[in-house]
Each structure stands twice: as C-alpha cells, then as structure tokens.
Chain A
Amino acid sequence: MQSVVKSPGSQISVGLSPLRKFWQRFIGFLFPPETDTWLAVLRSGLGLQVIVYALFLRSDWHYLFASSGKGLVGREVGEAITAFDSPLIPTFSWLVAFGRNLNMSEETVLTVAWVSLLSAGCLLLLGLLSRPAAIVAWFVHLCAAESGGLLAYGADSFMTTALFYLMLSPLPDYYSFDHWVTKTKPKNPLLLGFWRRVLQVHLCFVYFIGGLAKCLGNGWWDGSNLWRSLIRPPFNLVPPDLLVQFKYALPLLGISICLLEVSYPIFIWLKRTRWIWLGCILAMHAAIGLTMGLYLFALVMMVMNLAAFGVPSTGRRAEATSAITEQ
C-alpha cells in the first residue's frame, strides 16, 4: 500500500519515472565521454583509403567519368538516374559546369577533381587542415560515386558514409598536425563519444542486416555461396582446384559468416566477447580483400571497425578531460 497514488499529478510522475530513467540511460549511452584516439584512427585510416582509391582509379579516372562518346558508358546515364532521385545530389556535371565558367575543359576539371581527392587523402592522413580535407574528400568522392553510380559497388557507399561521419565529427584530433601547429583546445568528450556511438551503431546495422539477408539464402548454409563467390570472376584469385580441397570446410565457413554477422550487434558490446568478434570480423575482411581482390572494401570496413571498437574506450580519462574543460 506504500505506492498509493494521491493525486493525478503524482500518478503521472510515477508513470513517467521509468520512462525518464530509460531516457537518461539512453542519453548516457549516446553521449559517453571519450577521447579522440578513435577519431585519429578513423581520420588516418580514411586518408589512406582515399589515397588508395584515387591511385587505383588513376589510369581509368577519365575513362569512367568522361561524358558520352569519350568514356566507357558516359556519366550522363548514371547522372540522369541520380537526378531522378533528386537533382540536388552532387555529381561531376556540377563541377564541369562550374569549370566551363572558368574556361576549363571537362578533362581539366576531372584532373583537378582527381588531384583534389588525392591531396585531401594525403592531408587527412597527416591531419593537416583536417576538416576542409574531410569535406573535400567527401564531396569529390560523392560526385564520383554518383556520376559513376552504375559502376559503383559496396565500397563506395561505405566510403561515403565514413567520410560523412568524419566530416561531421569534432576535428581536429590530438594526434593531427593541426593540433601540433595550432594547439587547439581539447574537444568536448561527450561529442566525441556521440560520434563514436553513431559509427558503432551504424556497423551493428550493417552486419545484422547483411547477416540476416545471408541467413535467408540456402547457399550460405551448404557452402555453395562461398564457393560461387570465390570462383566468380573477377573475384577468382584462389584457384578452384585448391578450393575443392577445402570442400568440407566451406559449409562451416559459410555458417560461421552468417552467425558472426547476425550476432555482431550483441557480442561486439560485451567486454568478454568484443575482441573475439572484432578479431573475427577483421580476419573476415582481410580474407575478402586477399582472396577476392576487394581491397578497397576490405580496407574501409577494417578502418571503420577499428575506429568504432578497436580503440579501447577511455571513459575515465575522457571524464577527467571533461572535468578540466568545464573548470
């Protein structure tokens, strides 16, 4: 009888209490105090990713993104499909139109875009002009991904997402040249924690949905999908004769991949299993990169995982920094 409610007002407050507790816990989850070590990993990792992306596409850059009649398929069709979604999505046509006002040819504009992307990657790797470099890298890469939308694959979406988060995160970090040169003030640990959470939750979505969709296919349970993916050109780096020798291991590996991905959102948060899951996921991406030649995809996923869960959470240190900042 101790919980007798005396007035409608107190009834509401009693009813709201668990909700309020939940809300406070949720806010606590969203804004944990963090240092910027994870951000340094994300920045330098994405810098490397952008450099590799630009260098790998060096010989085909103009051929892939030139207009009709000059390149592979011309960027107009891809841009038209993008514009159907929304004409506000940036494409290379924006840059070409801007360049025309400055009497620059399409070829020159594409060259400038490639050089800008490579330079932005180098600057990100060093941590010099971190924020402008992140914005330039995101914008030019987005233009490339959208103009060549028909030629895009998974790595492009992940690069866009990772650069999008990096651009919005509280740059520059402690390990960047920017900090060394300008001695910037320490960033708000709660904001650093928030952006890390965003990255962490995003990865949970990625693996859960990827794992769930795989679980719905019969080929992942008997190993045939793993076989098909490894012998499918242009991913067929491992000779099929060698693969056949591991025919009994393929079903086990296929099931492991499904379970690893679908259970990622649970076991990556538990301290006891975090390193096991992270290690397995990193090994899986390394194997994808080495055996299927999907280097860019492997690298961006490893960078995102390392930044999200690979750097130990430094709550106490961050709390101390937070207290000092507040003083």
Chain B
Amino acid sequence: MYSKRIHTAWFGIHFFLITAVCLAGVFWLIAQGSTILPAVCNEYADKAQLGATWCLGKEAGASNPVRRGIATYLHAAGIQAGYSFFAPNVPSQHRLTLELLYEDGRVDYESPHVHGKTAALRLESLLDRLADERYEPVREVLVKMLAFSVWREHPDVKKVRATFGAVNPPGMNEFEQGNTETFQPMFSFDFSLRDDQKQ
C-alpha cells in the first residue's frame, strides 16, 4: 500500500510536469501568432504560457533550488521540451554559407559538414536553432565555431565571411511551374585570424 501511494504520487507529479511543459509549448506557439487562431488569442496565450512556465519554476531566480530541481528532473526524464514537432507549420530550412578568402585572392565556398547522415540531421537542427531569436545571444559564437571547423581544413584562408539565411522551398504549384527554392539572407559575420567584425 505504501509503495502504491509513492508510485501514485510520483505519477501525479510526473504528468503534471509533462502537462505544464506541453501547454507552455502550445501557448508559446499561439503567442507567437504562428497558428490559425485569431490574433486576439495571442495575448491570452502569452499569459497562459507564463502560468505554465511558473509551474515549472522558470519564473524563479536562476539559482533557486526548486527551479534547478525541476529542471534537473525534466532533463533526466527527457521531458524538458514539448512535442510540437513540425508544428504548427514546417519551418524553412536554414543554410550557412562560408565564403573563404585566401591570401592569393582566391575565393571558395564551403558549408560546415559532418561525416554521417545522422550527424547531418543534428547539424541541420543546430542551424534551425541559429535562426531562433531565443538563441540570438550565442549566435555569433556558434557561427564563429562553425566557421572555425571549416577553417581548420583550409589553414591558408585569410578571412571568412559567414552568411546565414532561410531557404524557402517552392510550393507544389510553383514547383510544377519550374520555380526553385529561394534564399533569404538573415545575417552575416566576417571573421579574420586577428579580429572579428560583425556586419
């Protein structure tokens, strides 16, 4: 009986946390205005999202033990993120093009790469995160590191220009008419061996 009570209590807490995480995710999507719901819902969704994240302790200070405890549990159980994959709509693909400028004036184009297909999926996942405004604070550092990973293979490169953007695929009808994808630049950075300049 004692064991049953412990298991039942754990069940309640566990699924309460999952509910909060999932609702926070759905409310965030609505608050962003990326759903078919009318714009009037966005403000309410924003408030509801705050309520859901409060349940997860995210409104507490970064060093708050309750917040840390909940976060540790969520990560350990793999339930820190909601389940709205490819929703409400499928996002655009993102591309990072590195323009390599050599000492002798040559110009070459490269992209960060990995060996296996599974790792390539992960690299795509990273590029999608770069486009997310929540990752803005670490964007330049990450692009610099990606540029550096290519730089190591081309040590005679003097300067690297990294251009990041969204690749918009053609719709079905556009594809039938012969249209292809379009590239929409979002930001670019210049890196040299000595100093880094942001454009």
Contact = CB atoms under 8 A, between A and B. Distances in A.
Interface of A: 27, 30-31, 56-60, 63-64, 68-69, 71-74, 77, 81-82, 84-90, 142, 145-146, 148, 150-154, 156-164, 190-191, 194, 198, 201-202, 205-207, 209-210, 212-214, 216-220, 223-225, 227-229, 231-234, 240, 243-244, 247, 250, 293-296
Given A164-B78, A214-B84, 16 more contacts: A59-B115, A64-B114, A71-B149, A73-B146, A77-B145, A87-B68, A142-B75, A150-B125, A161-B78, A202-B18, A205-B83, A207-B83, A213-B88, A216-B29, A217-B35, A220-B87
B117 interface: yes
Contacts of B171: 224, 227
Contacts of A194: 7, 11
B126 A150 contact: yes
Interface string B92-120: 01000000000000000000101111111
B149 A72 contact: yes
Interface of B: 3-4, 7-8, 11, 14-15, 18-19, 22, 25-26, 29-30, 34-37, 62, 67-69, 71-72, 75-90, 93, 112, 114-126, 129, 138, 141-142, 145-146, 148-149, 167, 169, 171-172, 175-176
A59 B120 CA distance: 12
Contacts, number: 210
A216 B149 contact: no
B122 A77 contact: no
A212 B176 CA distance: 31
A52 B183 CA distance: 35
Contacts of B7: 30-31, 191, 194
B36 A218 contact: yes
20 contacts: A31-B7, A63-B115, A72-B149, A85-B71, A89-B72, A152-B122, A164-B78, A202-B15, A205-B22, A206-B83, A209-B22, A216-B87, A220-B89, A223-B172, A225-B90, A232-B90, A232-B169, A234-B124, A243-B172, A293-B121
Name the 5 nearest CB pairs between A and B, nearest first. A217-B88, A160-B78, A213-B84, A213-B87, A60-B119
A72 B112 CA distance: 8
Nearest to A80: B138
Nearest to A227: B172
